[in-house]
């Protein structure tokens, strides 16, 4: 019985409950105390597992945004923008409903209505837009037509879609650099791009954009503020802000009018003769200001087309043997030393010197002639006589004084030194006529300036602010410089002159041509063949007191429609020098920017008929692309200078249509291609006489257009 009671007592449920309750209370107390201590610890220390909770809260509710500094604008000598900052937008259409909610759709719901609005603002027709919006894809982009959109175009599309309660179109914003002139001294101006997407900062990667990156970049600012969990800015808070310091502008010596004209002429020759390289540089002979500079290969800074062909700026990085254009310096040195006797006779054809045989371009020569005739005929033998009589050491001192083998300091990246080894006798002799020595175009410009400035060189420069010009020593006397120019007129106006084809109506010029051989890098021997040369000319005008120096080189052109490479050089030199002399002549109306060019008004968003009436009333040459009632794009753009040689292109809303191209220049055609995205094939030279599609035909990006050009004579 005792044992039974004990067993019952031990199994008493009330006692068990009490024990369990005490145990549970103890556990809860311990847990609560632990949690309390943990929260107390967190509140006191403000951190969990090494993470600062105050900092995390600040990150959650605080916004610290970078205020981007504006990159400085690059201007030409007349204040026209060459490179400027821009915010561009890329349009994307959301086609899937995966990212939408019933109350907040994000995708295209009415593709037909959306297509109608987009076609009114883009260079795409409505049917093509509708096809893109109805394809089986989650999202779709619109190629070139939907990229690099301006704020005005983006906002117009966005507002019209919102007004009609249409969804599905989004815009990605990006910073970019705008080069409104397209192919425009592209390697010299250079490029600025976002090189690191994390900071969205533009950095110069080529040309002046790279050289003056610190000057142009500025310094970003920032703004710091608090917002609530819904994303709204908390009112009455103290906002911390540091304003950005914008980059400084850069003013160049380039003249936009001459640059555009030079680019169009150089491109015509490039298309016609497909040379390895072309350089063409126009410089103010008195100040050293580069007024225009062009090269091939080049690229379009707006579209980046052609950028992979070459990153080399030929003005400062291209080293070559100049050939007979260097005889201008040999002549000046000979006159200074008294070894050039113009009416003394010598035997032309060939001469033994320096352990080798030096020959004229005409191996049998022209008989016994005067040195003045030898200059006109560009006789190598005549100039060997000059250097031999002057002495090799004396001639080397002149080469050094003219700056060959040293940089000019033009403030462009990667300027080459050139080279003048001057080691063995034959090589020393060859420098008399520009072989055995390597130069850059800018070095040649600097050397030529000694002839136009009374014997003292000026430093070529392209940035107006580049005022730190080193003092130059007098290389030759003013009398020698003037006499050299007089003799160089012989090459142009003598019956034997090699530069007779370079005469400019209404102006007298001094010039020297060159045909330089090219060394094969594999064999070290000079290449053979009538076109395997560098053909060049330097012209200084007006001859009696030059204001301009134009130096052109064309390497290995195809002799398809010409008999000699110099004819390709003439196609560049003659029209460019004539235009430049007309621009800068004191007696010409073109001397004034105001009398020659006007600022282009903003015609975008204007009714088409109003824009046409304005252009007609102000005697603009213009063409319409499309038959819409409103202008959506134009070229030239707002505030760009327009002269009488330029055609104004107006792109209207709706489908693009091809205008009548008859009489258009090659430059006009390239502008059309840039504006519309057509694939352009140009055949022949001169102006358009035929086109493969009739005027009024519908076109779109990628449409192949073939045009035939012919000269007025044809």
Residues with a known catalytic role: 324
- Cα separation of 32 and 683, whole Å? 90
Structure tokens that stand for 594 in this block = 């105001």
- Beta partners for residue 651, in sequence order: 625, 633
- Beta partners for residue 665, in sequence order: 687
Going from the C-alpha of 47 to that of each of 28, 50, 57, the distances in angstroms are 25, 6, 11
- Cα separation of 321 and 439, whole Å? 6
β-pair type (74-75, 250-251): parallel
- Cα separation of 17 and 19, whole Å? 5
Evaluate whether 214 touches 221 at the Cβ level (below 8 Å): no
- Cα separation of 673 and 681, whole Å? 10
Q: Crossing angle for the helix pair 392-401 and 380-390, nearest 10 degrees?
A: 100
Evaluate whether 261 touches 576 at the Cβ level (below 8 Å): yes
- Cα separation of 219 and 76, whole Å? 24
Structure tokens that stand for 190 in this block = 């250079």
Going from the C-alpha of 313 to that of each of 154, 183, 307, 317, 441, the distances in angstroms are 36, 14, 12, 6, 11
- Cα separation of 710 and 684, whole Å? 6
Quote the Cα angle for 110-111-116, to 5°: 105
Evaluate whether 478 touches 454 at the Cβ level (below 8 Å): yes
DSSP string, 280-325: EEEEETTT-BEEEEEEES---TTT-TTTTT----HHHH--B--GGG
Going from the C-alpha of 457 to that of each of 474, 684, 709, the distances in angstroms are 8, 41, 43
Q: Is 292 left (phi over 0), alpha (psi -120 to 50) or beta?
A: beta
Quote the Cα angle for 123-127-133, to 5°: 90
- Cα separation of 389 and 641, whole Å? 54
């Amino acid at each position: 019985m005792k044992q039974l009671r004990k067993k019952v007592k031990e199994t008493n449920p009330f006692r068990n409950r009490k024990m369990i309750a005490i145990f549970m209370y103890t556990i809860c107390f311990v847990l609560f105390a632990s949690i309390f201590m943990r929260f107390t610890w967190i509140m006191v220390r403000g951190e969990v597992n090494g993470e600062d909770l105050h900092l995390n809260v600040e990150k959650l509710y605080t916004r610290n945004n970078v205020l981007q500094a504006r990159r400085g604008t690059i201007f030409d000598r007349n204040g026209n923008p060459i490179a400027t900052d821009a915010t561009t937008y890329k349009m994307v259409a959301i086609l899937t409903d995966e990212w939408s909610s019933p109350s907040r759709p994000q995708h295209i719901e009415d593709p037909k209505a959306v297509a109608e609005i987009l076609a009114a603002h883009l260079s795409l027709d409505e049917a093509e837009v509708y096809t893109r919006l109805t394809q089986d894809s989650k999202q779709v982009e619109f190629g070139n037509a939907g990229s690099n959109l301006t704020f005005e175009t983006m906002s117009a599309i966005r507002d019209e879609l919102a007004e009609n309660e249409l969804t599905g179109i989004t815009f990605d914003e990006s910073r970019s650099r705008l080069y409104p002139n397209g192919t425009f001294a592209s390697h010299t101006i250079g490029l600025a791009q976002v090189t690191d997407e994390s900071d969205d900062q533009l950095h110069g990667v080529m040309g002046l954009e790279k050289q003056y990156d610190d000057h142009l970049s500025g310094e970003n600012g920032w703004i710091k503020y608090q917002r609530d969990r819904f994303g709204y800015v908390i009112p009455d808070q103290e906002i911390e802000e540091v304003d950005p310091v914008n980059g400084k502008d850069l003013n160049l010596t380039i003249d936009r009018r001459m640059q555009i004209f030079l680019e169009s002429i150089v491109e015509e020759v490039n298309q016609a003769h497909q040379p390895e390289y072309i350089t063409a540089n126009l410089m103010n002979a008195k100040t050293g200001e580069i007024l225009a500079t062009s090269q091939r290969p080049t690229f379009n800074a707006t579209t980046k087309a052609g950028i992979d062909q070459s990153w080399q700026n030929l003005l400062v990085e291209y080293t070559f043997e100049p050939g007979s254009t260097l005889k201008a310096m040999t002549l000046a040195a000979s006159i200074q030393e008294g070894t050039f006797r113009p009416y003394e006779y010598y035997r032309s054809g060939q001469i033994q010197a320096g352990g080798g045989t030096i020959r004229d371009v005409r191996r049998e020569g022209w008989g016994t002639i005067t040195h003045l005739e030898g200059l006109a005929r560009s006789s190598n033998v005549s100039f060997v006589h000059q250097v031999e009589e002057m002495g090799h050491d004396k001639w080397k001192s002149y080469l050094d004084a003219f700056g060959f083998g040293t940089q000019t300091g033009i403030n462009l990246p990667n300027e080459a030194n050139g080279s003048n080894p001057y080691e063995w006798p034959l090589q020393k002799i060859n420098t008399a006529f520009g072989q055995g020595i390597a130069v850059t175009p800018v070095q040649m410009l600097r050397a030529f300036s000694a002839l136009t400035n009374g014997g003292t060189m000026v430093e070529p420069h392209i940035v107006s602010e580049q005022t730190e010009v080193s003092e130059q020593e007098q290389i030759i006397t003013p009398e020698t410089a003037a006499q050299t120019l007089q003799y160089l007129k012989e090459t142009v106006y003598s019956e034997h002159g090699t530069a007779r084809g370079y005469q400019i109506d209404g102006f007298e010029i001094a010039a020297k041509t060159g045909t330089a051989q090219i060394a094969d890098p594999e064999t070290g021997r000079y290449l053979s063949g009538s076109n395997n040369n560098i053909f060049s000319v330097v012209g200084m005008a007006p001859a009696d007191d030059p204001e301009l120096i134009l130096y052109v080189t064309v390497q290995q052109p195809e002799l398809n429609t010409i008999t000699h490479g110099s004819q390709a050089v003439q196609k560049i030199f003659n029209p460019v020098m004539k235009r430049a002399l007309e621009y800068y002549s004191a007696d010409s109306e073109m001397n004034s920017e105001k009398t020659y060019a006007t600022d282009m008004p903003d015609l975008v968003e204007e009714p088409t008929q109003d824009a046409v009436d304005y252009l007609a009333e102000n005697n603009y040459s213009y063409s319409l692309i499309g038959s819409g009632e409103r202008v959506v794009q134009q070229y030239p753009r707002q505030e760009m200078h327009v002269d009488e040689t330029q055609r104004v292109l107006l792109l209207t809303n709706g489908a693009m249509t091809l205008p009548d191209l008859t009489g258009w220049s090659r430059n006009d055609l390239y502008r059309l291609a840039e504006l519309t995205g057509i694939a352009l094939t140009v055949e022949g030279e001169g102006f358009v006489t035929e086109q493969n599609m009739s005027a009024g035909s519908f076109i779109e990006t990628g449409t192949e257009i073939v045009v035939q050009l012919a000269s007025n004579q044809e």
